[in-house]
Structure 1
Amino acid sequence: MERAREVLKDVFGFQSFRLSQEKAISRLVVDNKNALVVFPTGGGKSLVYQVPALCLDGLTLVISPLIALMKDQVDSLVSRGVNAASLDSTQPPERSKWIKEEVLAGKMKILYVAPERLNNEGFVNMMIKVKISLLAVDEAHSRFAEELDVERVLCLTATATPSVSADICSSFLIAKEGVFSTPVFRPNLSLRIEVAETLDEKINRIVPLLKTRTGPSIIYVTLQKQTEEVANYLMPHGIDAMVYHAGLPSEQREKIQIAFMGSKDGVVVCTIAFGMGIDKGNQVIHLYMPKTLENYSQEVGRAGRDGMTSTCVLFLSSLDIPTLEGFCRGDTCSKRDLELWLQEVATKVPAPDGTLDFNHYKQGKELANVLGLCYAHLELDHDYIRAITPFYSIYEITPLDSSRIFSDNSQIGKVIRTYWRRKGVAGKHEVDIVDAASRAGVDRADMARHISNWELDGSAEVKASQVRARYTLLKPFEKTAASIRALADEMHTRMLKQEEDSVEKLRQVIAFATDDDCLAHNLAKHFGNEDAVPNGTCGSCTFCTTGQSVEFTLKPPTVIHPKQIQAILDACPIRDDPRLLARMAFGVTSPRLTANKWSTSHALFGSMVNVDFGHLVEAFDTECKKVGYQSLEVTTATPSSSKKRSQPQISSDNSNTAKFNNRGRGDSRYKRGRRN
């Protein structure tokens, strides 16, 4: 550990480690064992892999979700003399080529890549040739660690309940003594709760806060369109807010993040896509409720990173609940979709090596996007398949050294040139290596490696697309209709349970915000840190300063009107899927609704958003049962309407039968009173 302390002081300029950093680093460097670090946002997670990276031989590979975060950390490391880099799709070919050469030569110490890079067969093949001393990764990529036989794995997360930590440890074989955590309690954060039903009310509440701010402010919203809406509301008040969401081009997102990082008192209105690695924020405002306490904890953790007192405001509004419930329904599709998907999977003919491959994107367009999650059920719960490295099927090749490309007379080189097709701009070619390999009788993987070698030696610029997930078939599927139906029923039941869990997480946010307890203490308890807040009181939250919790009233769901049900039935002839009809009524898109123009542009889409979703499913199930779940003849789609809806549309493949315990039971009042 002496070397680690020298690195900390000489490279990073710190005299000592914070909290559990030293123990976690010792676990990696001295004990040579895997570790899980659960540090809240701002808790110093990055040093736990950056210091070992400079103590160990070989490469430290970091899986990071955001390009801007990679750039920020790489720039900081390079300024300290560390050979670090990131690989991402926005880089010019010469930069990418140099990085790969440095990695293969063993000169690179820290390499950052996005999770999507793990789908690149060429990248995985390159990494197999490299000594990876440490893999710093989130809990979603255990398969990658196994394939590359890395020496140590460090799992990093800002928020994890005891049960989530146990799941991560199980996946990575981390013993109890390999878990290092610090309490989520931050004494300089003042957690505030406000109740405001409309956006106008919310804006009126936050404008005084923003006008008197002494540093940057982050305003979180739920939907992408709300970022522009809120920014426009703030403009007349003299507040020029930046806008950030995942729908913006990556270059624009990076510019906004860099601008915010460089500002003294900037304001950004954003979705949860913003904030990874952000260590600025005098204020964090949740204009709309977060979906989970995990999200809330991570996002408020971006405030007060300088140790100064910071205000974090969370707004409660009953009008926001339908949108949030819609997102909770995202992981449930219909039994019909499940059966169609299982039929496709079960009847798929394996490749000669016993593997199956599927285009998740194409399946999502035809069925439901969430069906990709169902593959995990087949692997983890039923042992039918095991996920292995995915691959790209389409390669765009732009020769940089045409003489070398066209003089490549190897069998694979000839096959590539035979089957590639010109694409738009002169010089660009595109080849489907799955189709080409099948026609030419060569191995697809050999084609991928050959193209990757062209890229590595500077012969061509290469862009890959259309990733195909790949699985090893562990045992044959039961192919009878009855077997497929039974498996679909079992998986659907599990999905409904997960759906209920998602709604419960949303309910926990409301309970946290309205409980008769110190907010900081309540949040710490959720993450198993009951003793984190001294005497159970922070002294600065809404409850501690007022002595009482906020009163929040959920408006009761609207009673179903038969004429509204009939209007949906008249517009949509589907009778084999009650949940699809409920989705249309509630305002939750799906591929089937979109394909038949019953989605966002339809006048009736979302017309019953204030009705309990579970009651909608029951009502439409009754109607579908009357006709034996047989759809009517599909006629021309009902003309769409340009009429604007007052309720937000939920752009997600969501559906849900679960509901709040109090919904549908009259006026639901969240009030716990004073604490003695």
Structure 2
Amino acid sequence: MSDYDSGDELLADINAESIVAGTKRDRSESAREVQLSKRPKVEDADFGSTGSNSNDEFVEHIAKTTLKENFGFDQFRHEQFSAIKSILRGENALVVFPTGAGKSLCYQIPAVAFEKIDAAKNGRPHLGSGITIVVSPLIALMKDQVDALLRRGIAAACIDSSKTYEQQQLTTAAIREGRLRLLYCAPERLNNEGFVESMKHVPGGIRLVAVDEAHCISEWGHSFRPDYLKVARFIQEIKAERVICLTATATPRVADDVARAFEIDKSNVFRTSPYRPNLRLLAESVSTKQDKFPKLFKFLREHPGSTLVYVTLQKQAEQLADDLKDEGFHVAAFHAGLKTELKAQIQDDFMASRIPIVVATIAFGMGIDKADIRNILHFDLSGTIEEYSQQIGRAGRDGKPGHCMFYICPEDFYLRENFARGDLPSRQSLRRLLEDLFHRDAVHTPEGDVIKLNQTTLGRTYDIRASPLAILLATLELRFGLIRAITPEYSSYQFEAMYNYYRVVKDDKSQEGKAIFSNAKKAQKWHHIDVNAAARSTGLLRADVIRKLNDYNDRGIILLKASGVENRYKILKELPSTPQEMDAITDKLYAEMETREEDALRRTQEVADLITGDACFALALAQHFGMGLPDGKTKCGHCTHCLTGARVVLPPRPAPSVDMVGIQKILDVCHVRDDPRFLARIAFGIKSPRVFELKLHTKKVLASLEDHDFSSLLREFTKACEAANFGAGTS
């Protein structure tokens, strides 16, 4: 299971009526809308006094009581109290707090306080106190928070793909009976129609939606995720009462984007400066990557304590960890490619200080709440200032000194440029992709006309990486209104029969059991079943067959494996069909993708400018987020710039003239002439689906001109392709 897996099969087939069955509430849509519209705001409720001051005092009393009784804290920090009060008054809010500043309490306290307010009002017994939905991108983080809430006696649950059918049913029952206060889900869950429909009918309604990592909604945010764009639509569809957005890293421009998307007043944007007086922001420049090693070893010997060393690639993490072990350090490597059990063990050992040093990619750190991390080292160039700020924020949360060292050299820029250039496909690839999508045969379903896509196959066919492909599809959905993502399906189901399978399934008189028994075809070890064919042959719903398979799996009757996720999109209006229409939409999409590439390159340069600029590091960092240092100070007094009084000087980056012999070697090995950008990417060392398809990753020409300026490479390969195509046209 991926950290980002939303478990789309879960709740795909929930009957919204089952959520509300057994309550006293009128479940008709019209009655629901009337009840929601009549729900009193806190300031309109009668708490025994007519003055607004009394209302505010009541809200403050509830918030402070909840903080103490349910969470064990005596007082709020930073702007927590202001944000919580605005939510309890029925308003939307945006919270921009640095990592570790207690953002989660800003929605957890209201989620608990709603029930106390309702009890005081004595006006909602027939509705119930509703629930708070928390949209968060990381399953591990959601699970940690749910576990912590449950330990405090607060009813919380998380919907993800690790849940069994029984666990799912328990969560559904808790919602139906009004016992659940917080429900965590991934943003991908919002593509699940069954989930969206069921949330429209929660007893008591959705009191609050908390959008964690809210910067992901902004295309100007440092980790834009297209599924986040759908959160605002989801909130409108389920008629949530209010929303709170939370992030540690929002520039003024990103904050404006988020506030606009969720109708948040400027007065309800709560910021806390990223400045941490106990953090020493340090940096050193070197000429080559190799020069970093002795400096790193020396730093670690002089600065003991829990340490995170950040690198960019998984392989780098492992190699650097090995180098550190050779130097006698006790260290582990951590990255997304490790097995789940090993990642959990490394994290546990680090948290318990059994492992003092972890060399990690950005996969490590989200939700890490270790107070005594003493050092954060950046061995590579961070992709954005936001990423850098988030990572150094993990040091010194106990208030004691933390050292944050950044090593920089000219070679660092190549990797970041490789990432940025690799996300922009050629215009030809984009045009062919759109032609495929818009001419694909639609399947007529009860949901409407639906097209099915396998994004992995699409990416391989049209040489487009997964992230930009997801953004393209989201743009077609949200900006052009052509399609809408609905619940994905697995294309392949297979199972291994356990010892009691044949006895159980023969005795199963249900239509679903009969359908599985008659349609499952055994190979050597595994039974394969076409669930669509099984449903058609019996008149059942596809979801009914899947539910029975899951039931068998949960009872240990079979070992079920589902694979081949197919994304499904409902067609909302007539798709472009003429060449002119296709060209117009291609031009718009490609222009946006070019802007995104330029933006990624600009963000990396911003990091370098902060490190090599002629200003206090802490001041430059705060100003990036639209803030300053306390008391109007212009210097922190303990960063590298303040301590030395001089800039960190980066050695010049060499720019060789174009190697025309190298260009010709690539043309000799790779006969592609329809895509000059693809050839330039080969020269620059950018791997993509087409590179692997043509087996160019095994050739010496890959990355043979990686020290060149990418634009100059693109210019030369464009000339070569134009010459080849001109020759073909005149022959």
Q: TM-score, normalised by structure 2?
A: 0.79
**Other-structure match for 2:410:** 318
- Cα distance, 1:447 vs. partner? 5.1
Change (3 A) 1:553 1:86: same
Structure 2 residue 684 is matched with structure 1 residue 577: no
Question: Which residue of 635, 644, 647 maps to 1:549?
Answer: 647
**Other-structure match for 1:507:** 605
Listed as ranges, the matches of 1:623-638 within 5 Å are 623-628=720-725
- Cα distance, 1:404 vs. partner? 7.2
Change (3 A) 1:498 1:598: same
Structure 2 residue 85 is matched with structure 1 residue 26: yes
Question: Which residue of 652, 656, 669 maps to 1:558?
Answer: 656
**Other-structure match for 1:383:** 481
Structure 2 residue 449 is matched with structure 1 residue 354: yes
Change (3 A) 1:406 1:27: farther
Question: Which residue of 262, 267, 274 maps to 2:364?
Answer: 274
Structure 2 residue 245 is matched with structure 1 residue 137: no
Give the secondary structure class of the aligned counterpart of 1:274: coil
After superposition, give the CA deviation of every residue in 1:81-115 in whole Å (9 maximum; x if it has no partner): 23334444456776666555545544333343444
Q: In structure 2, what is the Cα distance between the partners aligned to 1:587 and 1:621?
A: 17
After superposition, give the CA deviation of every residue in 1:116-147 in whole Å (9 maximum; x if it has no partner): 55566666666566454333234415144445
Matched to 2:65, the amino acid is: E
After superposition, give the CA deviation of every residue in 1:495-545 in whole Å (9 maximum; x if it has no partner): 111111111111111111111111111111111113557412111111111
Listed as ranges, the matches of 1:170-569 within 5 Å are 170-263=260-353, 266-280=356-370, 281-352=373-444, 353-367=448-462, 368-369=464-465, 370-395=468-493, 414-422=514-522, 429-434=527-532, 444=542, 464-530=562-628, 532=630, 534-569=632-667
- Cα distance, 1:375 vs. partner? 1.4
Matched to 1:297, the amino acid is: S
- Cα distance, 1:585 vs. partner? 0.7
Question: Which range moves more in the overlay, 509-518 or 364-373?
Answer: 364-373
- Cα distance, 1:50 vs. partner? 1.7
Structure 2 residue 247 is matched with structure 1 residue 157: yes
Q: Say what the alpha-carbon RMSD is for the aligned residues.
A: 3.1
Change (3 A) 1:45 1:421: farther
**Other-structure match for 2:102:** 44
Give the secondary structure class of the aligned counterpart of 1:536: coil
- Cα distance, 1:6 vs. partner? 1.3
Change (3 A) 1:13 1:631: farther
Structure 2 residue 93 is matched with structure 1 residue 35: yes
**Other-structure match for 1:641:** none
Change (3 A) 1:424 1:145: farther
Question: Which residue of 68, 75, 81 maps to 1:9?
Answer: 68
Q: In structure 1, what is the Cα distance between the partners aligned to 2:277 and 2:165?
A: 47
Structure 2 residue 675 is matched with structure 1 residue 603: no
**Other-structure match for 1:62:** 134
- Cα distance, 1:382 vs. partner? 2.9
After superposition, give the CA deviation of every residue in 1:621-657 in whole Å (9 maximum; x if it has no partner): 000000127999xxxxxxxxxxxxxxxxxxxxxxxxx
CA contact (8 A) 2:289 2:411 kept: no
Structure 1, unaligned stretches of length 5 or more? 633-676
Change (3 A) 1:619 1:342: same
- Number of matched pairs: 628
Q: In structure 2, what is the Cα distance between the partners aligned to 1:283 and 1:499?
A: 32
Change (3 A) 1:344 1:167: same
Q: In structure 1, what is the Cα distance between the partners aligned to 2:493 and 2:73?
A: 46
Give the secondary structure class of the aligned counterpart of 1:615: helix
CA contact (8 A) 1:39 1:184 kept: yes
Give the secondary structure class of the aligned counterpart of 1:54: helix
Q: In structure 2, what is the Cα distance between the partners aligned to 1:45 and 1:204?
A: 39
Change (3 A) 1:169 1:407: farther
Question: Which range moves more in the overlay, 99-108 or 586-595?
Answer: 99-108
Change (3 A) 1:23 1:407: farther
- Cα distance, 1:9 vs. partner? 0.7
CA contact (8 A) 2:165 2:551 kept: no
CA contact (8 A) 1:288 1:320 kept: yes
Q: In structure 2, what is the Cα distance between the partners aligned to 1:631 and 1:313?
A: 56
Q: In structure 2, what is the Cα distance between the partners aligned to 1:114 and 1:89?
A: 10
CA contact (8 A) 1:197 1:317 kept: yes
Q: In structure 2, what is the Cα distance between the partners aligned to 1:421 and 1:60?
A: 44
Matched to 1:576, the amino acid is: D
- Cα distance, 1:465 vs. partner? 3.8
Change (3 A) 1:461 1:604: same
Between structures 1 and 2, the one with greater helix share: 2
After superposition, give the CA deviation of every residue in 1:206-246 in whole Å (9 maximum; x if it has no partner): 22332243531111001110001111111132211111111
Q: In structure 1, what is the Cα distance between the partners aligned to 2:727 and 2:376?
A: 51
- Cα distance, 1:271 vs. partner? 0.4
Give the secondary structure class of the aligned counterpart of 1:14: coil
Matched to 2:599, the amino acid is: D
Q: In structure 2, what is the Cα distance between the partners aligned to 1:123 and 1:381?
A: 23
CA contact (8 A) 1:217 1:265 kept: no
Give the secondary structure class of the aligned counterpart of 1:628: helix
**Other-structure match for 1:658:** none
Q: In structure 2, what is the Cα distance between the partners aligned to 1:629 and 1:372?
A: 35
Matched to 1:283, the amino acid is: N
Matched to 2:383, the amino acid is: K
Question: Which range moves more in the overlay, 481-490 or 253-262?
Answer: 481-490
Question: Which range moves more in the overlay, 379-388 or 490-499?
Answer: 379-388
- Cα distance, 1:62 vs. partner? 2.8
Give the secondary structure class of the aligned counterpart of 1:177: helix
After superposition, give the CA deviation of every residue in 1:159-202 in whole Å (9 maximum; x if it has no partner): 01122122222333333333222111112111111112444422
